Structure 1
Amino acid sequence: MTDVILETRLLTREFKGFTAVSEVNLQVRRGHIHALIGPNGAGKTTCFNLLTRFLAPTSGQILFNGRDITKLTPVQVARLGIIRSFQISAVFPHLSVLENVRIGLQRRFGSSFQFWRSDRVLKQWDAQAMALLETVDLAALADVKTVDLPYGRKRALEIATTLAMEPELMLLDEPTQGMGHEDVHRVTELIQRVSAGRTILMVEHNMQVVSGICDRISVLQRGALLAEGSYAEVSSDPRVMEAYMGSSDAELQGAHG
């Protein structure tokens, strides 16, 4: 199935008798925005940690483009094109917006953290960095110190630094968490824009975001795959409503937790 970019087979992770992820069979289709949702403690972040090999599975397989990556290191997984943005904004606060993206580019070309290099050498990345900043509407803020950015713009910058690594598959961990309505709207539009030509798998609590941009949704409960399908399908599934503590469809659409 060439249209499946990422697949898990009976993926399981146990912690001293507690099963955090239980025999999950996940298929992410190429070019889709795919959401992983579920109540708190459902195993979503553990699943992300397994996919990026920050955690080793107890059993099961992970395949990327048909290749078994279950035993690869996080660095090897990233080099294949699976790049993750973290739940907490992961940028260098005391560097400028441009410098943060430049570091992402340096990492991709294997010259990361060579801060001692001359300005002339480092500036070779500036045109590409500015192009990425244009993509996420941050070009006008290129010289601003990152610590001074509003929270939503920091998340946009994080997406730009993720894009600098040229991901084939982007994993976004709660990209709109802690944002006000305006920032949520801006970041949602941004995710839709950068999804062109790549695949996105995201953990997201905001069901309005999920319903607005996701092609397919997988619902986890207690580490197991409960339901899968379009938003219309999963939001009308009685098991999913029960997982969200008896929510009606309307409440599920607005659920944040």
Structure 2
Amino acid sequence: MEHKTDFVIETRGLTKEFLGFIAVNDVNLKVRRHTIHAIIGPNGAGKSTCFNLITKFLTPTHGEILFNGNDITRHSPSQIAREGVVRSFQISAVFPHMTVLENVRIGLQRRLGTSFHFWKSDSTLDILNDRVLDALEQVGLAEFAQEEAVNLPYGRKRALEIATTLAINPEVMLLDEPTQGMGHEDVERVTELIKKVSAGRTVIMVEHNMNVVSNIADTISVLQRGQMIAEGNYQTVSSNPQVMEAYMGSADAELQGH
């Protein structure tokens, strides 16, 4: 029997309207604890809007968002980050001339916010270094700790972004198009990385690459025109006629992972 706490994130009737345009329409999402849950769909399906609602960068027009059974609909992004729901950002341009270690440390310091306001000087931040180095180790960047972020290849910049999120040790990690713009080798590396860091936590990801989704997602929610049209494992959604129709033509091949 399912309990409400089996689901770490749940949305009920989630709806977002922009000047009469309904971008997300009555979406009921249930994200099971300690799984990788992917949100997919063709362009304009409402994936990013849905993601921005869950991470509280947008406020829903209607509906509720629950985290561990508690209503977080009106919470701010910083509130939910403190509670354990953390979104990763493309940080490659944030501190390009600081080292990889410094980037993660600043990200950690910023996300932890006021609880660390008593640390005045840079040297006192050394207390965070163990946590930072552990995160870098997990994503395979330990050897690049003293490298300036600007010098990292693109795929490793995305690994740095994941390390920054990981350092905060979130209960729920949200990844927005983690393999976007990557070559095949980087895609494989980052896919393996997501699989690795998902151990013991929940990952929600918006992703366009169906190979990635088919390899690592436990559950896939498919959106089209703001509505959820299918949900289940890859085999279930990829054989769904409505999903195949939504992707159509050449994108149909993409859905099959070619």
- So what's the TM-score if we normalise by structure 2? 0.93
Q: In the alignment, which residue of structure 2 is the partner of 1:195?
A: 198
Q: 2:125 corresponds to which letter in structure 1?
A: L
| Contact preservation (8 Å) 2:88, 2:174 | yes
Q: Using the TM superposition, give the Cα deviation of residue 128 of structure 1 relative to its aligned residue in structure 2, in angstroms.
A: 1.6
Cα deviation, residue 119, structure 1: 3.9
RMSD: 2.0
Matches within 5 A, 1:13-162: 13-86=16-89, 89=92, 91-110=94-113, 117-162=120-165
Q: Is the 8 A contact 2:82 2:112 kept in 1?
A: no
Q: Percent identity at matched positions?
A: 69
Which amino acid is 1:178 matched to? G
The CA distance in 1 between the partners of 2:132 and 2:146, in whole Å, is 12
Q: When you count helix as a share of all residues, which structure comes out higher? A: 2
Q: Which runs of 4+ in 1 moved over 2 A?
A: 86-91, 107-114, 116-120, 246-251
Counterpart of 1:229 (choices 229, 232, 248) is 232
1:26 maps to amino acid: L
Measured after TM superposition, the shift of residue 219 of structure 1 is 0.1
Q: Provide the residue aligned with 1:254 in structure 2.
A: 257
Give the structure 2 partner of residue 175 of structure 1. 178
* Residues 241 and 247, structure 1, Cα contact 8 Å, conserved in 2: no
Shift of 1:91: 4.1
Instruction: Give me the whole-angstrom Cα distance separating, in 2, the residues matched to 1:64 and 1:253.
Output: 33
**Structure 1 CA distance for aligned equivalents of residues 150 and 115 of structure 2:** 21
Change (3 A) 1:50 1:83: same
Question: Is there any run of 5+ residues in structure 1 with no aligned partner, and where?
Answer: none
Deviations 1:135-179 (A, max 9, x none): 000000001100111000000000000111221001100000000
CA contact (8 A) 1:136 1:160 kept: yes
How far residue 110 of structure 1 moved from its aligned partner, in angstroms, is 3.1
Measure the CA separation in 1 of the matches of 2:68 and 2:116.
30
TM superposition shift of 1:108: 4.5
Where 1:110 maps in the other structure, the secondary structure is: helix
Write the distance in 2 (CA, Å) between the matches of 1:53 and 1:166. 19
Deviations 1:19-41 (A, max 9, x none): 00000000000000000000011
Count of paired positions: 255
Other structure's SS at 2:248 match: coil
